[in-house]
Amino acid sequence: MAMDFGSAAIYAAILLNVLWAIWIGALQVSRIRQSRHAEKAIDSVGSGYWVLDASGRFVDVNAAYCRMVGYTRKQILAMHIADFEAVATREGIRKQIERILQKGQERFETRHKRSNGEWVDLEVTVTAVGKHQVIVYLRDISERKKAAIEINQLALYDPLTALPNRRLLQDRLQQALRNATRSKHHGALLFIDLDHFKTLNDTQGHAKGDDLLRQVAQRLVSCVREGDTVARFGGDEFVMVLVRLSPDATEAAAEVRSIGEKILIQLGQGFRLGDLDHTTTASMGISLFSNQAVSIEDVLRQADLAMYKSKAAGRNGLRFFDPGMQVAIEARMALETDLRNALLSQQLVLHYQPQADRHRRIVGAEALVRWQHPRLGLVMPTQFIPLAEESGIILQLGQWVLEAACLQLVQWATQARTSALVLAVNVSVRQLQQPDFVEQVLDVLRRTGANPGKLKLELTESILVSNVEDVIAKMSALKAVGVSFSLDDFGTGYSSLAYLSRLPIDQLKIDRTFVANIVASANAVSICVAVISLARSLNLNVVAEGVETEEQFQLLACVHQCDYVQGYLIGHPLPADGLQAMLD
């Protein structure tokens, strides 16, 4: 709307300009000296008209100008034009008129002070008439100026929060970088991102989200000094530029830290969004700059990286950028690119770790993915699964694993020694959250022809943080075709027993940290025993992972009747033919 109004005002201004030029042309041609007719005509378009003598005294003035400045004709005729100007002196005006009398015409913009103290913006055309007088046409351009300011506002400020936008931020940052170089003072860029803003927007609606952004903007502005900039960078991201910090780097860092902490505390105070009480936190990345030559892009990227680190460290905190961060992030980015390639160029392989019953008979295996990296050699999943989860690659990776595992099952089904083996496949919570997860699994089963009864999916307790009903529905759908479920790393998460009893799982998998300590620590024994008895009462079976020694095996399988074991004692994860050889 504001833009339309602005454009309309500009068109009107252009039209008036044209009219104006016509008037001036016409008047000049006929040289009508103080013509009442001309004055009336000019009056009718609302423009001012003066006749001045060579010293700048009024000889005549029209009614339109009187209205413009709020004085009577009589009052004006007794004044000097310097009285209306902000800075011009009588002498300066005299010289200007002298110049115009020689040159013929001059056009410029100025402002005149009204009787009520306000200012009116004017476009002035002064034309020499003979040797001793000038005619001055004055056009009120306040509206045009206002429109120009509004357009400027739109181009440089964020309409929602009225904070400088990204474009103006760049100018201010450029300025701050230049000043830091010149003054030896440090400056800092703070990158602030609200935590979980999307959830508010999605659950409470955009009006509430907008309201929060506006209030956050106000709080941020209240935290900084004059000369600093608070800008909206986009979405729920804000950027602050702090200037004139200490010339000493350590002191400057301490100053920014204290401002940053103040901001986080301010943002942590509750917000009132209409009828909703809302609390939020923010994550902040900080980049200090001084007199070394850095670009706007560098500073922004550094603060952004630091912000990302602060999010990864659990949100609601601040981080300073340091060069080590850059190296780590670059390595991570390179690994991410490599991992995408790995999927395309078949560099992933599955290894199979045997699972045995209490009599050490191999009854199945767990599929564990490895990355045959062309340079780094065999990379273990702990080094790339977290990255795959963060970057979303896990979805394709998981799909690949599932398919490879099912193909293995099909192959095992062809031989008597392997046809009874159950294969466990790790499924990430992100995979399970896919709306079409069930269809994906069913589709792979159908395409490969694998027996669903031999497929076991390993989930971790983290599935319980998402929509439990949805998880239960998906598991039930797959159970209906014969797929079974195991709860991996059990005891390390935050399972609520109430939820646990509702999940359609078949097996609990005791985490290997408990198994590792079982011989030395009474606590570890108690935990293993508790998990085993919990499983019994819920009618589930139990597998202990990470069984490395005979003592652990004896204690778990023989003394405490754990159903199955998995670990180096039985066998390391091996390529498929290695497992096959174990069975021969």
Residues found near ligand C2E in the complex (CB under 6 A): 353, 368-369, 380-382, 385, 398, 401, 426, 428, 458, 488-489, 512, 545-548, 567-568, 573
Q: Return the one option of ligand C2E, Mg ion, none that residue 495 interacts with (CB less than 5 to 8 A, by type).
A: none
Residue 143 phi, psi dihedral angles, 5° rounding: -60, -45
Min. distance of Cβ 510 from Mg ion in angstroms?
A: 9
Residue 443 interacts with Mg ion (CB under 5 A): yes or no: no
Nearer of residues 394 and 525 to ligand C2E, judged by Cβ: 394
Q: Return the amino acid letter for 240.
A: M
C-alpha closest to that of 370 among 386, 385, 387, 355: 385
Nearest approach, Cβ of residue 555 and ligand C2E (Å):
15
Q: Count other Cβ atoms within 10 Å, centred on residue 21.
A: 11
- Residue 18 has φ and ψ, to the nearest 5°, of -65, -50
Q: What's the closest the beta carbon of residue 460 comes to Mg ion, in angstroms?
A: 8
Taking CB positions, which residue lies at the least distance from ligand C2E? 567
Q: By C-alpha distance, which of 208, 196, 221, 199 is closest to 271?
A: 208
Dist CA 471 CA 433 (whole Å): 8
For 201, the token pair is: 């927007």
CA distances from 283 to 30, 118, 221, 222, 308 (A): 72, 46, 17, 18, 8
Q: Is 566 in the site for Mg ion (CB under 5 A)?
A: no
Which does residue 573 bind out of Mg ion, ligand C2E, none, counting CB within 5 to 8 angstroms by kind? ligand C2E
Pick what 381 binds: Mg ion, ligand C2E, none; C-beta below 5 to 8 Å, kind-dependent.
ligand C2E
The tokens 């995979």 sit on which residue?
431
Minimum distance between the CB of residue 449 and ligand C2E, rounded to whole angstroms?
Answer: 21
State in angstroms the smallest separation of the CB of 355 from ligand C2E. 10
Kindly tell me which of 8 and 465 has the beta carbon lying closer to ligand C2E: 465
Beta bridge mates, 367: 352, 425
- In whole angstroms, give the CA distance from residue 362 to residue 356: 4
Per-residue CA distances from 412 to 353, 417, 478, 510 (Å): 15, 8, 21, 27
Does 236 contact Mg ion by CB under 5 A?
no
The answer to whether the beta carbons of residues 536 and 507 sit under 8 Å apart is: no
The total of other beta-carbon atoms located within 10 Å of residue 444's CB is 18
Closer of 302 and 426 to ligand C2E (Cβ): 426
**Exposed, middle or buried by CB within 10 Å (0-12, 13-18, 19+), for 513?**
middle
Q: Which does 491 bind (CB under 5 to 8 A by kind): ligand C2E, Mg ion, none?
A: none
CB of 497 to Mg ion, least distance (A): 20
Q: How far is the CB of 391 from ligand C2E (least distance, A)?
A: 13
Rounded Cα–Cα distance for residues 530 and 126 (Å): 98
Rounded to the nearest whole angstrom, what is the least distance from the CB of residue 377 to ligand C2E in the complex?
A: 14
The owner of tokens 């560099």 is: 347
Residue among 39 and 545 whose Cβ is closer to Mg ion = 545
Q: Which residues contact 135 (CB under 8 A, 6 or more apart)?
A: 27, 49, 50, 51, 126, 127, 129
Closest distance to ligand C2E from the beta carbon of 375 (Å): 20
Using the minimum distance from each CB to ligand C2E, give the nearer residue, 5 or 568. Answer: 568
CA proximity to 182, closest of 297, 293, 295: 293
Report the residue from 43, 140, 211, 458 that binds Mg ion according to the rule CB under 5 A.
458
> 470 is in the binding site of which of ligand C2E, Mg ion, none (Cβ under 5 to 8 A by kind)?
none
Tell me how far apart the terminal alpha carbons of the chain are, to the nearest angstrom: 80
Q: Nearer Cβ to Mg ion, position 237 or 489?
A: 489
Let me know how long the chain is. Answer: 584
* Under rule CB under 5 A, residue 228 binds Mg ion: no
Say which entry of Mg ion, ligand C2E, none residue 385 contacts (CB below 5 to 8 A, set by partner kind).
ligand C2E
Nearer to Mg ion, 144 or 509 (CB): 509
**413-432 residues near Mg ion, rule: CB under 5 A:** 426
Q: Build a one-symbol-per-residue string for 474-513: x at contacts with Mg ion by CB under 5 A, - elsewhere.
A: --------------xx------------------------
C-beta closer to Mg ion: residue 313 or 465: 465
Smallest distance from ligand C2E to CB 427, Å: 6
Binding site for Mg ion (CB under 5 A): 426, 458, 488-489, 545
